[in-house]
Amino acid sequence: MDSVENLLLQRPARGGCVGHLSDGRVCFVRHGLPGESVTVRITESKSRFARGDVVDVLSASENRVTPPCAYAHVGGCGGCDLQHVATTAHSEWKARVASEQFSRIAKLDMEIAVSDASSASRSRTRLRCGVDSDGRLGLRRHGSDVIQPLVDCWLMDSSVNEAFLNDWTGAREVELRSIGETSFAVVTLASGEVVTATLDGLIDDDLQRSHVEVLGERFRVSPQSFWQSHADAPATLTRAVLSAARVRRGDRVVDLFSGVGLFSVPLARHAGHDGRVIAVEASASACADARRNVADVPQVTVVESRVTPRVIRDVVDARSIVVLDPPRAGAGIENMSALLHANPLRVVYVSCDAATLARDAKVLVDGGWTLASLSAFDLFPMTEHLELVATFSPSTR
């Protein structure tokens, strides 16, 4: 039987609020709020820390609310961290967690102001679902492979709800997409084959791509190509990148982890016909989309390649403005070291994880660069995650 303790919760942290067990160990507690006295069931116990869930609130915070989603409770869906937190307190929670990451990892004391997205409910355009033994779609319970079946997701665009009524037996995973003009499913079969299907489960090869407009530019997005999950994210991040990059006519831009060209296209518009944009992306699907998306901006060259130190040495020089938007794992220390030695004009780093951004920022800062600006956007509502846009400048220029 799991052990139970009464704790006073102190501050938000990655993985839940921090409290201390009777033996002095830190405990990361889900479903709690700073300042609350709670009863916690310990779900994981290590030599230096523990994890637990709130099972009773003895003294509630004024910021505690009833979760708007019926699945957001202990033992329920593990997709959301902050459904029990008043939306007015989300920004402060996320800012404190991100600031702690920068202080602990990069040794930078940052005041982070979070810009709220326009909405949370129905804001997602993609939802990756598991399939249970009865063929029902759902999300995994926190820290578990057990699927919590859903009939609706409070965050996801409701146009996909028909899919929750269908039997998906034979599928390993189903990603529901409502990007742009069409809602459909991207299905990974038990064999590993990926197909597209209507929301009632009918395989349909004609549903192979989404088309979406962002700030006047039209993008094709194939089923295996990455696209931001929040409806506001493409436009919000594009504006932030353009503001930070300060590209002028004739500039040379390198767009690393460039995806389908979300940033490459508007960056090329700013660089003009006498400028140049080199877009580097590992995904064959995203590169095919990008080549289609940049068809009328010939100053963009799409390079299908992993981002490695060697590639960075080949495409980045002292004339370059670098934009990078790596996955959650970040660009990595070796790639950041290569950027440092290439000495570009500036680096604009888009990140969905404060910890890996802080780790990568440390490479540039320790090398004498300045973190010139840092913007944060709440584009992962009801979770502890943020999108961040950091601008770095070499101090020798």
- pLDDT, tens digit, for every residue of 162-196? 999 999 999 999 999 999 988 999 999 999 999 99
Tokens 């979300």 identify what position?
262
**pLDDT tens-digit profile of 313-362?**
999 999 999 999 999 999 999 999 999 999 999 999 999 999 999 999 99
Computed over every residue of the chain, the mean pLDDT equals 95
The predicted model gives 366-395 an average pLDDT of 95
Whether residue 206 has pLDDT greater than 90: no
- The set of residues, in sequence order, having a beta carbon less than 8 Å from that of 57 and lying 6+ positions away, is 36, 37, 38, 39, 64
Residue 353 CA from chain centroid, whole number: 7
Phi (first) and psi of residue 137, to 5 degrees: -80, 145
Superfamily of domain 4-64: Nucleic acid-binding proteins (2.40.50.140)
d(CA 192, CA 178): 23
- Domain ranges in the chain with CATH number 2.40.50.140: 4-64
250 within 8 A of 275, measured Cβ to Cβ: yes
Are the beta carbons of 321 and 252 closer than 8 angstroms?
A: yes
Residue 296 has pLDDT above 90, yes or no: yes
Give the strand pairing for 171-179 and 126-131: antiparallel
Share of the chain above pLDDT 90, in %: 94
**End-to-end alpha-carbon separation of the chain, Å?**
62
| Alpha helix stretches (DSSP H) within the chain | 87-101, 233-245, 264-271, 284-293, 309-315, 333-342, 354-366
In this predicted structure, the answer to whether residue 51 has a pLDDT above a threshold of 90 is yes
Question: Is the distance from CB of 344 to CB of 254 less than 8 angstroms?
Answer: yes
| Chain center to CA of 17 | 21
Residues of each domain in the chain carrying CATH 3.40.50.150: 99-118+230-394
Answer yes or no: CATH 3.90.105.10 is held by domain 99-118+230-394: no
- Report pLDDT for 376: 97
At residue 200, φ and ψ (nearest 5 deg) are -95, 10
Rounded to 5°, the CA angle 361-286-377 comes to 40
3-state secondary structure of 191: coil
The yes-or-no verdict on residue 289 having pLDDT over 70 is yes
Active site residue 352: yes
Would you say the pTM of this structure is higher than 0.85? yes
Q: Which one, of 339, 346, 341, lies nearest residue 372 by Cα?
A: 346
* Tens digit of each residue's pLDDT (9 = 90 or more) over 207-265: 789 999 999 999 999 999 999 999 999 999 999 999 999 999 999 999 999 999 999 99
pLDDT at 307 > cutoff 60:
yes
pLDDT above 90: residue 123: yes
pLDDT of residue 1: 45
Nearest to 371 by CA among 389, 352, 353: 389
pLDDT tens string 255-278: 999 999 999 999 999 999 999 999
**Residue 118 confidence (pLDDT) above 80:** no
Of 80, 129, 153, 352, which residue is the catalytic one?
352
Higher confidence at residue 161 or residue 110?
A: 161
Among 89, 111, 107, smallest CA distance to 98 is for: 111
- Residue 355 CA to residue 371 CA, distance in Å, equals 15
Specify the amino acid at residue 233: A
Q: Which of 279, 258, 231 is nearest to 327 (CA)?
A: 258
Nearest alpha carbon to residue 283 among 306, 314, 256, 252: 306
Query: 153: which residues sit within 8 A by CB, 6+ positions away?
Result: 69, 79, 124, 127, 139
| pLDDT value at residue 397 | 60
Positive/negative CA dihedral, 231, 233, 234, 240:
positive
| Distance separating alpha carbons of residues 76 and 66, to the nearest angstrom | 14
What does the pLDDT average to over 80-100? 94
- The residue among 223, 290, 285 whose CA lies nearest residue 263 is 290
CB 77 within 8 A of CB 148: yes
CA–CA–CA angle 182, 187, 191 (5° rounding): 160
